[in-house]
Amino acid sequence: MAKDWLGNDLTTTDSATLQGINDFSEGLLAYETKAGNVIAAADADPGSVLANTYAGLAFLFLESPGAGAMARPYLERAEAAAAAGANRRERMNLAAAQAWYAGDMPAAIRIGNEIADEFAHDLPMVKLTQYHEFNLGNSPGMLRVAEKVEEANSDLCHMHGLMAFAYEQCHLLGDAETSARRAIELKRKEPWAHHALAHVLITQGRIDEGLTFLEDVSGTWTDLNSFMLTHNWWHLALNYISKGRYEDALRAYDAHIWGADKSYSQDQINAVSLLLRLELVGVDVGDRWIDVAEHMKGRTEDFVQPFLTMQYVYGLARAGAPETEAMMENLKAFVASAPAYVQDAWINVAEPACEALVAHARGDHETVVKKMGAAISRIVEIGGSHAQRDLFEQVLLDSVIRTGRYTTAQQMLEMRRGYEPCSVPNNDKLADVYQSLGLPRESARAQARVKRVLSEAQ
């Protein structure tokens, strides 16, 4: 019986099919473009349950309303092949993929955990289960499924990368750093571990370390899919912003963040998030919003994930696209019939947050304070990482300042300074806020911190 590169039994004996299966499973864990090779392998071998299951998953990862239609023929072929003969793990993989296709994330997560219980070396399913938990804001669930298989895969860099990000999302930053560094020790080109460590360093305000580390390993970001390539550069750009190196962040946007795959969901939200962050610190981004919005105009009925929807709608609104109104109307219709397990999050978190984001793009800051202020305490429920969701806190902060709520702004900014004491944007804002509060001494201290950081960069 054939085995995949992780040692899992396969029913296929065809060498080309086996290569396609291995390319997908390793490519998924390493975020490499070779994961897509499984589609050709599945087309050439319609009798392979796992190749066709993996091909279906490859399309579902497109994170778009049309992804299911592209995945369906592969999942149907996998189901037909399973009836003719498949091992238990292959059938369970198919069941997990079918649950995702059907939009039943609780079932997909349950099956993923069952696979981890029975087949400790099925890391692609552990990765997929973490992905679903992440999109639901359930970081303990990410850690739980990884811990089931950690010991059995302790020699694999990818295992430590999976652990690192789960730890980080649970705020277990020491454990996250240990796991990330172990992954990189095993294999320097481990972009998911780079990503996890980037989270740790910026969360702890270790900006100089983050810059040095990410710039150093960026040379290994080859053959990556557009998400991992653009997203790690996005993390590097966040460090540039913290240091007041706004032109470097804008250059990273133009050279590495926007342009790899303008049609892909993750590339689009990386672009929206970075442009907005730059504008929040006073950078003129020119007409860049127009190009981003042009590639999102087909998203007006896209409610695959609330985290994605929130950024699509901001990008459209900021560019003044007429599609904004259609998307908001479609959103109201969608949330009324959203799946029960996420409906509350859509109604009470994502919808008011979307209204706030449109209001911010249009300069209605009172509405932002009201709507985003109500949603922010539950923002974890819409998915995304801590660093990504911080964007919405920054939007709220911007509107708090613009509406003259300086006491609230002072509290928000000083709490941010607690973990990032030398942030140029935060201290710039603090200088203005303290001046407005009649506290010139504290304003001068904030200005001095800015000058010190900028002088060190010269």
Binning pLDDT at 50, 70 and 90, where does residue 202 land? Answer: very high
What mean pLDDT comes out for the span 302-314?
A: 97
**Residue 458 pLDDT class (50, 70, 90 cuts):** low
Are 58 and 24 within 8 A, CB to CB?
Answer: yes
Distance, CA of 304 to CA of 313 (rounded, Å): 13
pLDDT at residue number 278: 98
- pLDDT, residue 178, reads 98
Q: How far is CA 458 from the centre of its chain?
A: 33
- The pLDDT mean for the chain works out to 97
Residue 69 has pLDDT above 80, yes or no: yes
Residue range 390-417, pLDDT digits in tens: 999 999 999 999 999 999 999 999 999 9
- What pLDDT digit, counting tens, does each position of 117-163 carry? 999 999 999 999 999 999 999 999 999 999 999 999 999 999 999 99
Local confidence band at 50 (pLDDT 50, 70, 90 cut-offs): very high
Q: Are 99 and 111 in contact (CB under 8 A)?
A: yes
Find out whether 145 and 136 touch, Cβ atoms under 8 Å. Answer: no
Please state the φ and ψ torsions of residue 342, each to the nearest 5 degrees: -125, 0
- Residue 310: CB atoms within 10 Å: 28
Secondary structure (3-state) at 32 = strand
Q: Is 63 a residue whose pLDDT tops 80?
A: yes
Judge contact between 283 and 303, C-beta under 8 A.
no
Query: For 416-431, what is the mean pLDDT?
Result: 95
With DSSP H G I counted as helix, E B as strand and the rest as coil, what are the percentages for the chain, rounded to 5?
A: 75, 0, 20
Q: Residue 307 pLDDT > 90, yes or no?
A: yes
> Could you please report the per-residue DSSP string of 81-138?
HHHH---HHHHHHHHHHHHHHTT-HHHHHHHHHHHHHH-TT-HHHHHHHHHHHHHTT-
What would the 3-class secondary structure string for 134-161 be?
A: HHCCCHHHHHHHHHHHCHHHCCCHHHHH
Token output for 233: 């550069």
Among 10-14, 179-183, 401-405, the range scoring the smallest mean pLDDT is 10-14
pTM of the model: 0.96
For residue 157, the model assigns a pLDDT of 98
Distance CA 344, CA 248 (A): 40
HEC sequence for 386-451:
HHHHHHHHHHHHHHHHHCCCHHHHHHHHHHHHHHCCCCHHHHHHHHHHHHHCCCHHHHHHHHHHHH
What pLDDT, on a 0 to 100 scale, did the predictor assign at position 10? 96
Q: What is the pLDDT of residue 13?
A: 87
Q: Mark residue 302 as left, alpha or beta (left: phi above 0; alpha: psi -120 to 50; beta: remaining).
A: beta
**Whole-number Å distance between alpha carbons of 185 and 182:** 5
pLDDT for 216 equals 98
In terms of pLDDT, which residue wins out, 13 or 114?
A: 114
By CB neighbour count within 10 A (0-12 exposed, 13-18 middle, 19+ buried), where does 458 fall?
exposed
Phi, psi torsion values for 447, nearest 5 degrees = -65, -40
Sign of CA dihedral 57, 9, 25, 215: positive
Q: Given the structure tokens 């342009």, which residue do they identify?
A: 259
Q: How large is the average pLDDT for residues 69-94? A: 97
Q: Which residues touch 110 (CB under 8 Å, ≥6 apart)? A: none
3-state secondary structure of 312: helix
Q: Can you tell me which residue has the tokens 């702004």?
A: 409
Give tens-digit pLDDT for 96-125.
999 999 999 999 999 999 999 999 999 999
